[in-house]
Amino acid sequence: MERLQKVIASSGYTSRRKAEELIVNNHVKVNGEVVSNLGIKVDDNDIIEIDGEVLKTDPLKEYYLLNKPREVICSVSDDKGRKTVIDLIKTNTRIYPVGRLDYDTTGLIILTNDGELANILMHPKHKIQKTYIAKIDGILNEEDFKHIRKGIKIDERILKVDHMKVKEIDKQKNTSLVEVTIHEGRNHIVRKLFATLGYDVLKLSRIAYGSLTLGNLKSGEYRLLSHDEVKSLYGHK
């Protein structure tokens, strides 16, 4: 619920001060009744009229970048009662995650109520690059590295990575830290990529999405996207 004058101003009809004047001077109706009280609150289901014309209220768009922790599900609700990414963000707006990270994957996820942008970002033709850091069980050998760089068949379709780099090898623990950039949105794609060559992914984190990076957001923290960041995401269209 939002104050009537705020909803009128957010719609772009007029400023908040002018909206208040319209209300106190009996120009505004809510659900057919004249209101002159500045304290009244409305929601998306209320019909607002100004001088007999229905106000078009497009809900304000919200854009968040969250550093998703492990054991949180990328969904708006969960029938098993697990924590969702929505539970981590303080808003009354009905936002949803753009795409998914696995329950055990951490890192960068965008949440918004802007369906148009979500569709652009999720459409495969826009080929948005996403960068992951994977800790894998085993030492990634030269042959497998080349195999991945050349293209690797996963579920009957070739995956071409855009970029790959071995960041660290731990011979004692027998693990490798690999950074990989892909522009595909297939589910569990990074885990499947390594599984195809016999490596288990022990940890997985997304550190970049298009031009967005996690910056210094800690696990579970989030921030609003700036106007320029939203514009640049729309630029993928």
Helix (H) or strand (E) holding 18: helix 16-24
Pairing of strands 48-50, 53-54: antiparallel
Helix (H) or strand (E) holding 163: strand 163-170
Closest approach, Cβ 24 to ligand URA, in A, equals 53
Closest approach, Cβ 103 to ligand URA, in A, equals 8
Contact indicator for 36, 21 with CB cutoff of 8 Å = no
Closest approach, Cβ 100 to ligand URA, in A, equals 7
Q: Which stretch binds ligand URA (CB under 6 A): 7-15, 157-165, 188-196, 220-228?
A: 188-196
- Measured from the Cβ of residue 137, the count of other Cβ atoms closer than 10 Å reads 14
| CA dihedral for 38, 43, 47, 52, sign (positive or negative) | positive
Annotation marks residue 104 as catalytic: no
191 binds ligand URA (CB under 6 A): yes
* Catalytic annotation, pick one of 102, 144, 155, 228: 102
Please identify, using beta-carbon distances, which residue of 13 and 103 lies nearer to ligand URA: 103
Contact indicator for 199, 140 with CB cutoff of 8 Å = yes
**Residues between 195 and 224 with contacts to ligand URA, criterion CB under 6 A:** 204
How far apart are the C-alpha atoms of 71 and 149, rounded to whole Å? 31
Please identify, using beta-carbon distances, which residue of 59 and 185 lies nearer to ligand URA: 185
Among 164, 189, 217, 230, binds ligand URA (CB under 6 A): 189
Q: Residue 117 corresponds to which tokens in the numbers above?
A: 């942008």
How far apart are the C-alpha atoms of 95 and 58, rounded to whole Å? 14
Please identify, using beta-carbon distances, which residue of 144 and 184 lies nearer to ligand URA: 184
Q: Between 77 and 116, how does the x/- string for binding to ligand URA read (CB under 6 A)?
A: ------------------------xx--x-----------
Contact indicator for 175, 137 with CB cutoff of 8 Å = yes
Size of the site for ligand URA (CB under 6 A): 8
Question: What are the two backbone dihedrals, phi and then psi, of residue 119, each rounded to the nearest 5 degrees?
Answer: -65, -40
Q: Between 50 and 79, how does the x/- string for binding to ligand URA read (CB under 6 A)?
A: ------------------------------
Q: Which stretch binds ligand URA (CB under 6 A): 58-66, 141-149, 187-195, 222-230?
A: 187-195
How far apart are the C-alpha atoms of 138 and 170, rounded to whole Å? 9
Residues at the interface with ligand URA (CB under 6 A): 101-102, 105, 188-191, 204
Residues annotated as catalytic are 102
